[in-house]
Chain A
Amino acid sequence: MAMALPLAYASSVVHPFEAGRLSFSTKATKHKKQIYQFRNVTKVLAYYGLTNPPYKLDALEPYMSRRTLELHWGNIHRGYSDSLNKQLANSPLYGCTMEELIKTTFNNGNPLPEYNNAAEVWNHDFFWESMQPNGGRLPWGGVLDQIEKDFGSFSNFRDEFVHSAMMLFGSGWVWLVLKTNERRLLIVRTSNALCPLVWGDIPIISLDMWEHAYYLDYKDDVSKYVNNFMDHLISWHSATTRMVRAEAFVNLGEPKIPVA
């Protein structure tokens, strides 16, 4: 899956929680050369390649069908990626990792035209990795401890997550984020393409609540979709990896070291 690459390609400091994404942004940042007719001009463009989900498209059956993934990843996610690259062909934005691109184009609440595409590309990457075949069930270790600390119990967290998803009006996402300032986990809902990265928070798990994510499989039965996600799809492995990286930035308290 995501491997850390040598940092030689990075044009900026790479945060550990972005390191896992390094393979997507720097490996994919290519240079395009365009030779014009009358003079040799090299045009350097930013380009972000579409990454594959870390499992085969039918691996999430029966909770998310192959057809859904074919359309969701193959058409919709790919569409955002292509649109983004088309926009970047004429844009001064260059040399950013995906996260930097999102924060820059968000422009403190006045988003630039590239924001929507950039955020949706990242959001969908994050979403594919938030799921796994044979997922669901319970987290363990540090993640479970933190959830129990911040929500009381895992079932409280689960109920709150499902409730938050059901209360979303319109298109959007539901996130489990680690709030950097409050130093705790929180469940947030965002609309359309909004991503908690823009507030400096660290997302741990996301759920796509746009209708295209579930309509083919569940029609209007949103509650079944969300419950299946919690019970069978959510990848606590990814959550653990992301929490480990996040702890490099957010002090979650002293570790419980047993005293001899």
Chain B
Amino acid sequence: MALRTLFSKKAFTTASGFRPIAAGDRCFLRQARGLTVAALPDLAYDYGALEPAISGEIMRLHHQKHHQAYVTNYNNALEQLETAVAKGDASAVVRLQSAIKFNGGGHINHSIFWKNLKPVNEGGGEPPHSTLGWAIDTDFCSLEALVQKMNAEGAALQGSGWVWLALDKGSKKLCVETTANQDPLVTKGANLVPLLGIDVWEHAYYLQYKNVRPDYLKNIWKVINWKYASEVFDEETA
């Protein structure tokens, strides 16, 4: 595991304790050619630890199947890109961009998402305090207003996408943004840093909540990891 995290594109810290069987075992390394590849990060909690807000079945499929597929396809696209760049095949390079954006974005977004969630008995759902709490009160009047805004935007999003609580690095203000499909938050603004992201693709909730996306959005707040959001916020506003 240590070798894998060393050579993975992002070094993810995993909390000690319960850990599901890592689907990342299936990832392969290509450090021999100097190409760093993405790897599926481990979750810091069991698949079933977020129940009843999110079912274990959804978490398992979401992590082991969907996220893994994004990682695999991203790595494939990167490999093809490397070949195309080496050959100077500009049309191939351009043609691969949509696959890289989609699969790479999916990997980025889901990696943030797993850190945004925490079981209730480990502090999930506990509202933010101090700096982030005050910033929310300043920019949104109250936490309830922020939650309501994010729920409204998430429910109104047509098709697939994400709803984000973002920090604008330039103005140091918080804002709520949505992105379509797997577009990462930076596609909405180069200065935007994601604090919290909620996946509103149907695969994130359909098995449990069926088509009632508003119920999913209402319940996911019980397992949101505000501590992580606070840490990112403090780091960026330091």
Contact = CB atoms under 8 A, between A and B. Distances in A.
Contact of B210 (A71, A193, A210): A71
Contact of A193 (B66, B158, B206, B211): B158
A53 B203 CA distance: 25
A152 to B, nearest CB: 23
Given A169-B98, A169-B102, A169-B182, A220 B206 contact: no
Interface residues of B, number: 20
A169 B100 CA distance: 11
Given A169-B102, A220-B66, A215 B180 contact: no
Nearest to A222: B69
Contacts of A116: 158
A171 B160 CA distance: 6
Given A192-B158, A192-B159, A216-B206, 11 more contacts: A71-B211, A76-B211, A116-B158, A169-B102, A170-B161, A172-B159, A211-B202, A212-B202, A212-B206, A219-B65, A220-B203
Interface in A205-244: 210-212, 215-216, 219-220
Given A192-B158, A211-B160, A220-B65, A75 B202 contact: no
Contacts of A216: 206-207
Interface in A170-221: 170-172, 191-193, 210-212, 215-216, 219-220
A79 interface: yes
B181 interface: yes
B160 A170 contact: yes
A210 B211 contact: no
Contacts, number: 51
Interface of B: 61, 65-66, 69, 98, 102, 158-161, 180-182, 201-203, 206-207, 210-211
A169 B158 contact: no
Contacts of A169: 98, 102, 181-182
Nearest to B210: A71
B202 A215 contact: yes
Contacts of B201: 211
Contacts of A211: 160, 201-203, 206
